[in-house]
Structure 1
C-alpha cells in the first residue's frame, strides 16, 4: 500500500517534466529565443563585427555617464536610460534640455538588451546602437549638443584623448562618429539573461508552475506574434490592428511612414513602467489587457492578465555589474556649460 503514494508522486513528477519540455518546445516554435548561455555564442550575437574590447567598453561606459556630452553639461545617456532603473527614467515622457518634455510625448525605452533589437527608436529609424547614440545627443529637446561641441569637449580633456588612443590606436580621429560608436559598444554589453533563458536553455525547473502557465497563456493568446525573438520584441510591427489605442490622443506619434511601431522588449518589463510609446499606462496587467484589445482583438480577463504578468516576472534578468566611473577633469579649453 505504501508503494501507491510513491508511484503517484513519480507519475506527477514525470508529467511536470514532460509539461516543461512541451512548453519549452512550444515557446521555441512560437519564435521565442533564449540569450545563449555560452560566451562564444553570445559574443557572436552581440558583436558580429568584433568591435568589443575591454578598453573600448570601459571608455564607452564613461561616455555613457558623461554629462558634458550635453550642451548644459548636466544630462548624460544615463539620465533617460538609467541603468539603476531598468534602463529607463520612470516617467511617461523623456525630459531633456531646459527641462523640456519630449515634444511627441515619447517614453524612453530601456537600453538593456537593446542590442537584440532589429531597429532602434520607436519609429525604427536607426538600425543599430552605434547609430542610435547620435540622435539624442544632437536633439534640441534632449541633450542639445551639436557635433562640433561634443568633439571639442572630449578633445579638450587629455585623459579622454589618451583613453581613445589606448582603445583604438595612436592615430585615432576622435570625432563625433567615434565618440557615439564607442557608447554603442558599451551598450552592446548590457545583456540580462533571466530564468526564462535558463528554462529555454534546458533547465526545466527554472520556472515555477505558475510562470509556465503564464508562458503557455502568453503564447496561446497570440502575444508572441509580436513579442518574439531573443528580445521578445524589438521589431517593427503595425499598431492598432484590431482597435484604437485607448490613450492614442496623448502625444502625436503615429509610427513610421507606414504606421509601424517598434515593439518594446518584454525583458525586465516589470521594472520599466510606465508602458507604451507615450507612457500612458502604469499597471502592467492593464497594459496586457490593452494589447489584447488593440492588437489581437480579444478580451483578456483580469485572471488571465495576472497569469501572464506572473510569467513576466521570469524575464527579470541578471544585470551586469556597473560601477559608476570617475570621469576625467575638465581643462581651461573645455567649453563651458550652456543652458540656453
Structure 2
C-alpha cells in the first residue's frame, strides 16, 4: 500500500491541489472534546445516538494522506484464504439452487461478470418478484469493509453471506438447515468441501459462508487512475480530476470517505463506520425520500444512521444512495454537499458559546465544482471493471440485434 500526502507531490501537481477556495472554519461552533462541529454533537444528542470520532481523521490544518488499495485483502485467522476455498466459494456464489425457487444466486444482485458488483437497479428483485427496500451494494472491495449491509449489522463477510440466504424477500430459504440440504443435493460439492476444509468435512452453514467469503476476498480493484497517480504516474489524472481531488479534501468529503477504500467503515480505520444521514434538512430529504428508512437509527428519529460506503467504482454503481433513488452521480454530489456538508446557502447551526441556533453562510457548489468532483470520482473506477462492462454491453447489444 502506497501513502501519499500533499507535501509529497511535485510542485507542478501541488499548485492545482492547494489553489482552491477553502471552507471557512466555524470556530465558535467546534466541540474540542469530541473533535467535531458542535452542530453534529447537537444532532447526536437530539437523535439519542452515540457520537463518533471519525471527524478527527481529517483536519483542514494538516495535509490529507492519499493511499492506494492493497492488491490483497486482509484475511481472518479463523478463515485463511486458500485456492480451494476460493473455487468452492465461487461455485456457491453463482449457485441458484441456494434460493427457494432456484431462480436467484448471490450473483443475481451482485454481478461480477458483466457488471460493477451490483445489479444496476434502485432496489433488487428477490424470489417471487418481491422488491427489496434497499439498493444492493457492490461486492467489489467489500473485503475491506469493517461492517456490511447498509445498516452495518454484519461484522464480517462470513456473517453477511448468511443473511440473504434466509431473507424472505431475497433468496427466501426457510432456514440454514434447508440451505445445507440444497448443497448436499449436488454430489459435486462434497469433494470441493473436502479439498477446501479437509477430508469428510461436514457441510454446514458456517463452511458455506466461509467459502463464499473467501471468494469475495479476491474481488479487489486497485487498478484505477487514482491509484496509478498516487503510485507516481503524474499523468494518470486530468486537470479536472486534480481539481476534483483537491475539492474532495477541502470540501470535507474526506471526513467520511477516507483511507485506501474511501470509507469510514474500513478495516484500515474503523473509527466511524456509521454516520448520520442526512445531517442538514434540505428539500432533497423529501424529494428523494431520504428518511423513510432510518437504517441503524431509531425508527421515528427523523434522521438515518448508515454505513459509510466505499467510493471505489462509485461512478459505475448507480443508481445511488441506500434507496437507489438518485440516477445521476452529479446529483449525488450535489445532495451530499448539501445534506452532509451544509453547502446550502444559509442554514442554522448550534452555537455552544451563545446557546442559540445561529445562521451560517456556506454557498452551494457550482456546477463546475460538482463536475470536478464527479471527474475525480470517475478516477476511482477499475480499468478491469470498465472493460468487463464494455464487453458485456457489446454482447447484450449483439443479442438484441440478432433477435
Query: Normalized against structure 2, the TM-score is what?
Result: 0.69
**Residue 31 of structure 1: how far off its partner (Å):** 5.1
In the alignment, what sits opposite 2:67? Answer: 33
- For 2:14 and 2:339, the matched residues in 1 are separated by 34
2:134 to 106, 122, 127: 106
Counterpart-to-counterpart distance in 2, 1:130 and 1:31: 31
SS in 2 for 1:95: coil
Residue 336 of structure 1: aligned partner? none
**Does the alignment pair 1:151 with 2:183?**
no
Per-residue CA distance 1:93-151 (angstroms, 9 max, x = gap): 1110110001xx21101110111112101110001111101111100000011212210
Deviation of 1:22 after TM superposition, in Å, equals 7.5
* 1:89 counterpart = 2:119: yes
Of 331, 340, 348 in structure 2, the residue corresponding to residue 295 of structure 1 is 340
How far off its partner does 1:248 sit?
Answer: 5.2
The answer as to whether partners of 2:243 and 2:372 remain within 8 angstroms in 1 is yes
The change in CA–CA distance for 1:21 and 1:252 in structure 2 (over 3 A counts) is closer
Q: Deviations over 1:164-193 (max 9, x none)?
A: 101111032210111122111101111001
Q: Evaluate the alpha carbon distance shift between residue 178 and residue 309 of structure 1 in structure 2; reply closer, same or farther with a 3 A threshold.
A: same
Provide closer, same or farther for how the CA distance between residues 170 and 112 of structure 1 changes in structure 2, counting only shifts above 3 A.
Answer: same
Equivalent residue pairs, number: 301
1:39-65 Cα offsets, whole Å, 9 max, x none, are: xxx44x422436111111111111111
CA–CA distance in structure 2, aligned partners of residues 51 and 153 of structure 1: 25
- The TM-score with structure 1 as length reference comes to 0.81
Higher helix share: 1
Mark the CA change 1:268 to 1:72 in structure 2 (over 3 Å): closer, same or farther: same
Q: Could you tell me whether the CA contact under 8 Å between 2:143 and 2:157 is conserved in 1?
A: yes
C-alpha distance in 2 between matches for 1:236 and 1:32: 21
- Kept after mapping to 1: 8 A contact 2:17/2:243: no
* Aligned counterparts, 1:33-52, within 5 A: 33-36=67-70, 42-43=71-72, 45-49=73-77, 51-52=80-81
Q: Aligned partners of 2:124 and 2:291: how far apart in 1?
A: 12
Aligned to 1:325: none
Is 2:133 the partner of 1:133?
A: no
Give the Cα separation in 2 of the matches to 1:31 and 1:142.
Answer: 39
Higher relative strand content: 2
Higher relative contact order (CA 8 A, sep 6+): 1
State the partner residue of 2:377.
312
Match of 1:262 in 2: 307
Q: How far is 1:67 from its partner?
A: 0.4
- Determine the structure 1 residue equivalent to 2:235: 205
Contact 2:89 2:215 in 1 (8 A): yes
Change in CA separation of 1:205 and 1:247 when aligned onto 2, cut-off 3 Å: same
**Cα separation, 2, equivalents of 1:68 and 1:250:** 35
Please say if 1:181 is aligned against 2:210.
Answer: yes
Instruction: Name the SS of the counterpart of 2:214 in structure 1.
Output: helix
Residue 271 of structure 1: CA displacement?
A: 0.9
SS of residue paired to 2:309: coil
**Aligned Cα root-mean-square deviation (Å):** 2.6
Q: Relative to structure 2, which stretch is displaced further, 153-162 or 27-36? A: 27-36
Within 2, Cα distance between the matches of 1:246 and 1:304? 24
